[in-house]
């Protein structure tokens, strides 16, 4: 063992050194642990806490939309929901197939979810199913444990309890698209933008797309809150910590002036007809009904409407998506004759008793202008001209008054102005005159066109809302009534509302004429004069809006009547009225598209709606005026989609 003895000496020296080196290494490691755990322990402890406790955005509850008497029109419903977080699911298609065994989940919907999971950031929950029935919810809840990454929860969804009745007024909410996000973050600073973008990724969040939902977005939205949650490294929520101090603040309610029951009754009265009706409380200008039919169910849009359903709505020839009462423009026809008469009296172009002889036609510029009554009205003054809606009389009166004066008077009644009532859309319509025609068509005004203007045809058009407003101003004998829809909420701020000053005496004559229409011999709507309430009558004016031009040959061979005509070519039936005739409370305009005659198609509808309003006292004091402060805060951002 001599080899080892020599080595032993050397070994012991080297051993000491090696042991020393090992000692240094171990001491270094111990020192490092001491530094991390003891000296810097507190710092790392707080880092660990930050790591796991995250503040999640807590979406605020969207404010409700209430009718005049507090009936919820836009509310929320708690419903079961299933979501899936992409990064926590190993095999998304397999998981979806597994879910499909538990609840109804069609294959195409599964594919949509798979696509969305791929598109979204992997930690964003993707909605698998919503509006679960109680049974489905319970079943999913039991099985969710064995489905990692799948969450079953109660969610708050926007719902529209009155469904179709308020589609055009309320609009609807939908999940924010990239375009919505762009709009919602407009003008926001980067951190606000980030917050809004994150908030609207939350499956509970919706944004208004149309109507009041759109315009009152900020009022309804509320203030976002936070809740503290413990998450793991993958961002999965392990535990929720109490965080009342950071709770979200629910959005404010919006109250509108409409009486939901009257709205319902009006829509039902239309039946299968397409058209529009507007009821105004003539004292306050409150819109009590704003009807456009047929309509659609905004609930279908909240969770995303299918393309086929949407196309069906879009291609329906009765245009359910179109807000006829506010966006629709129609030639007012004979309902416009009060405006012409008022212009004539105001300018002194004619006196009330001045007579025009109507043989059934009127000669002007070598052309024969027809009155609707082929046999003629005989000798007609202003009262009987309105009552019998004599076209010949109004050709003459319009010619004597002139286009400019009629146009000026039209504006006094609210035509040619877009009335902002806090709903998206709205049309100003056209009040033609020489300047307008030169501007729009590059042509001068011809006097023959004044004659057409005189019977509410030609270039003139107006919305049902404007016609109701006109009627309200007549009924109040010239008060400057303005339409109003928002009771509590972001109220429209109109920089320049055209002021109106109408002569009460002239207005009394118009009222008398309208009373004649429904209540005197020779009136065009006598059959609809009685409201059926044992006394009160209504006063109104019929109208027919031509959809096609009647040719001379046709007139000579006898004008074809509706039954032989394509529906699309039939005239629109109009009726404007107020009631009760002796003490007006309500003004209404009704248009029945392709309904042919105002007295036959539109007047009965108007009568029944007015009767319902009177019977149920729709205009009684609204609930919000007793409970809430009427707010005049304007919406901070306005726009049209």
Partner 1 sequence: MSWSGEIRTSAPSRARRFGRQNNFDKLARMPWGLVALIVGLAIFGTAMLYSSTATNPASADLPMKHFTRFLISFALMMGLALAPISYWKRAAFPAYGVALLLLIGVEFFGDTGGGAERWLELGPLRLQPSEFMKLALVMAVAHYYQITLRDNSGGFLIHLPAFAMVLAPAALILRQPDLGTALTVVAAGLVMIYFAGLYWRLILLALIGGLAGAPFAYFYVLKDYQRARVETLWNPTADPLGAGYQSEQAKIAIGSGGWDGKGFTQGTQSQLDFIPEQHTDFIFTVMAEEFGFLGSASMLLVWATVIVWGFLIAMRCNSSFGRFAAIGAVATIAFYVAFNVGMVAGLLPVVGIPMPLISYGGTAMLTVMAAFGLILSVHLHRDVKAP
Residue placing its CB nearer to partner 1 in the complex, 39 or 440: 39
Q: Least separation, in Å, of the C-beta of 238 and partner 1?
A: 7
8 Å CB contact between 125 and 203:
yes
> What b-and-e string marks burial along 566-601, b requiring 16 or more CB atoms within 10 Å of the CB?
eeeebbbbbbbbbbbbeebbbbbbbbbbbbbbbbbb
Q: Is 238 in the site for partner 1 (CB under 8 A)?
A: yes
**Contact stretch for partner 1 (CB under 8 A) within 13-21, 268-276, 398-406, 565-573:** 13-21
Q: Least separation, in Å, of the C-beta of 48 and partner 1?
A: 4
| Distance from C-alpha of 383 to C-alpha of 52, rounded to nearest angstrom | 83
Q: Least separation, in Å, of the C-beta of 227 and partner 1?
A: 18
Q: Is 15 in the site for partner 1 (CB under 8 A)?
A: yes
Q: What is the DSSP letter of 76?
A: E
Residue placing its CB nearer to partner 1 in the complex, 50 or 353: 50
Q: Is 14 in the site for partner 1 (CB under 8 A)?
A: yes
Q: Is 34 in the site for partner 1 (CB under 8 A)?
A: yes
Q: Least separation, in Å, of the C-beta of 240 and partner 1?
A: 15
Give the Cβ contact number of residue 201 at 10 Å.
Answer: 17
Q: Which ranges constitute the DSSP H helices of 84-189?
A: 92-102, 107-119, 134-144, 167-170, 178-184
ω into 520 cis (within 30 of 0): no
Helix (H, G, I), strand (E, B) or coil at 7: helix
530 has which bridge partners?
Answer: 537
Residue placing its CB nearer to partner 1 in the complex, 1 or 499: 1
Judged by CB under 8 A, the residue of 28, 306, 351, 508 near partner 1 is 28
| Distance from C-alpha of 341 to C-alpha of 332, rounded to nearest angstrom | 15
The number of residues that bind partner 1 (CB under 8 A) is 41
Residue placing its CB nearer to partner 1 in the complex, 37 or 527: 37
Residue placing its CB nearer to partner 1 in the complex, 38 or 495: 38
| Distance from C-alpha of 623 to C-alpha of 72, rounded to nearest angstrom | 12
Q: Is 456 left (phi over 0), alpha (psi -120 to 50) or beta?
A: left
Token duo for residue 593: 């598209």
Q: Least separation, in Å, of the C-beta of 131 and partner 1?
A: 31
Q: Is 1 in the site for partner 1 (CB under 8 A)?
A: yes
**Contact stretch for partner 1 (CB under 8 A) within 1-9, 112-120, 428-436, 625-633:** 1-9
Crossing angle of helices 92-102 and 107-119, rounded to 10°: 140
Judged by CB under 8 A, the residue of 30, 138, 154, 621 near partner 1 is 30
Between residue 36 and residue 65, which ones bind partner 1 under the rule CB under 8 A? Answer: 36-38, 40-45, 47-49, 51-52
Q: Least separation, in Å, of the C-beta of 204 and partner 1?
A: 25
Residue placing its CB nearer to partner 1 in the complex, 230 or 512: 230
Residue placing its CB nearer to partner 1 in the complex, 48 or 107: 48
The structure tokens 């203007």 sit at 453
* Interface map 196-235 toward partner 1 (x if CB under 8 A): ----------------------------------xxxxx-
Q: Nearest Cα to 277, choosing from 565, 67, 540, 639?
A: 540
Q: Nearest Cα to 132, choosing from 101, 154, 164?
A: 154
Q: Least separation, in Å, of the C-beta of 289 and partner 1?
A: 58
Q: Least separation, in Å, of the C-beta of 49 and partner 1?
A: 8
| Distance from C-alpha of 413 to C-alpha of 589, rounded to nearest angstrom | 14
- Interface residues with partner 1 (CB under 8 A)? 1-4, 6-7, 10-11, 14-15, 18-19, 22, 25-26, 28-30, 32-34, 36-38, 40-45, 47-49, 51-52, 230-234, 238
């Amino acid at each position: 063992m001599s080899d080892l003895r020599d080595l032993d000496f050397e070994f012991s020296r080297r051993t000491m050194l090696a042991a020393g080196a090992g000692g240094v290494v171990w001491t270094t490691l111990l020192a490092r642990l001491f530094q991390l755990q003891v000296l810097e322990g507190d710092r790392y402890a707080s880092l660990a806490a930050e790591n796991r406790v995250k503040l999640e955005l807590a979406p605020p509850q969207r404010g409700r939309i209430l009718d005049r008497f507090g009936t919820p029109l836009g509310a929320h419903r708690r419903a079961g929901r299933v979501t899936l977080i992409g990064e926590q699911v190993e095999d998304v298609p397999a998981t979806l197939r597994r879910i499909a065994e538990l609840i109804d989940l069609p294959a195409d919907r599964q594919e949509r979810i798979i696509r969305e999971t791929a598109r979204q950031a992997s930690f964003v929950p993707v909605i698998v199913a919503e509006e679960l029935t109680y049974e489905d919810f319970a079943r999913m809840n039991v099985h969710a444990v064995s489905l990692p990454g799948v969450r079953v929860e109660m969610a708050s969804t926007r719902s529209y309890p009155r469904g179709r009745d308020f589609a055009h007024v309320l609009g609807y909410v939908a999940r924010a698209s990239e375009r919505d996000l762009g709009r919602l973050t407009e003008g926001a600073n980067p951190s606000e933008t980030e917050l809004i973008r994150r908030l609207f990724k939350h499956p509970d969040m919706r944004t208004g797309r149309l109507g009041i939902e759109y315009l009152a977005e900020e009022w309804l939205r509320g203030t976002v809150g936070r809740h503290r949650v413990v998450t793991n490294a993958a961002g999965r929520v392990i535990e929720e910590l109490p965080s009342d101090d950071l709770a979200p603040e629910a959005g404010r309610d919006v109250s509108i002036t409409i009486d939901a029951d009257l709205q319902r009754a009006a829509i039902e009265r239309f039946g299968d007809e397409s058209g529009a009706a507007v009821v105004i409380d003539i004292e306050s200008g409150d819109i009590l009904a704003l009807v456009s039919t047929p309509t659609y169910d905004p609930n279908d849009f909240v969770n995303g409407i299918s393309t086929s359903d949407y196309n069906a709505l879009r291609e329906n020839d009765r245009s359910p998506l179109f807000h006829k009462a506010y966006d629709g423009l129609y030639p007012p026809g004979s309902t416009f004759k009060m405006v012409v008469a008022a212009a004539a009296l105001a300018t002194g172009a004619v006196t009330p008793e001045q007579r025009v002889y109507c043989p059934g036609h009127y000669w002007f510029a070598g052309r024969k202008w027809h009155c609707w009554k082929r046999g003629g009205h005989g000798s007609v003054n202003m009262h009987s001209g309105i009552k019998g809606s004599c076209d010949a009389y109004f050709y003459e009166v319009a010619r004597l008054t002139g286009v400019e004066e009629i146009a000026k008077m039209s504006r006094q009644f609210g035509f040619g102005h877009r009335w902002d009532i806090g709903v998206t859309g709205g049309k100003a319509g056209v009040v033609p005159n020489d300047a307008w025609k030169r501007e729009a068509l590059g042509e001068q005004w011809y006097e023959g066109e004044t004659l057409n203007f005189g019977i509410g045809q030609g270039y003139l058009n107006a919305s049902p809302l404007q016609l109701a407003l006109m009627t309200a101003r007549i009924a109040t004998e010239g008060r400057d009534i303005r339409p109003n829809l928002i009771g509590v909420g972001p109220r429209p701020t109109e920089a320049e509302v055209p002021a109106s000053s109408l002569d009460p005496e002239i207005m009394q004559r118009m009222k008398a004429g309208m009373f004649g229409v429904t209540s005197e011999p020779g009136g065009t709507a006598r059959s609809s004069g009685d409201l059926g309430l044992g006394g009160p009558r209504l006063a109104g004016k019929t109208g027919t809006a031509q959809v096609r031009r009647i040719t001379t040959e046709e007139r000579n061979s006898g004008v074809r009547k509706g039954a032989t005509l394509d529906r699309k070519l039939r005239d629109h039936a109009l009726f404007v009225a107020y009631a009760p005739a002796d003490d007006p409370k309500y003004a209404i305009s009704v248009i029945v598209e392709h309904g042919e005659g105002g007295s036959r198609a539109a007047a009965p509808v108007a009568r029944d709606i007015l009767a319902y309003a009177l019977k149920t006292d729709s205009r009684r004091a609204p609930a919000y005026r007793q409970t809430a402060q009427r707010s005049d805060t304007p919406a901070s951002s306005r726009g049209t989609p």
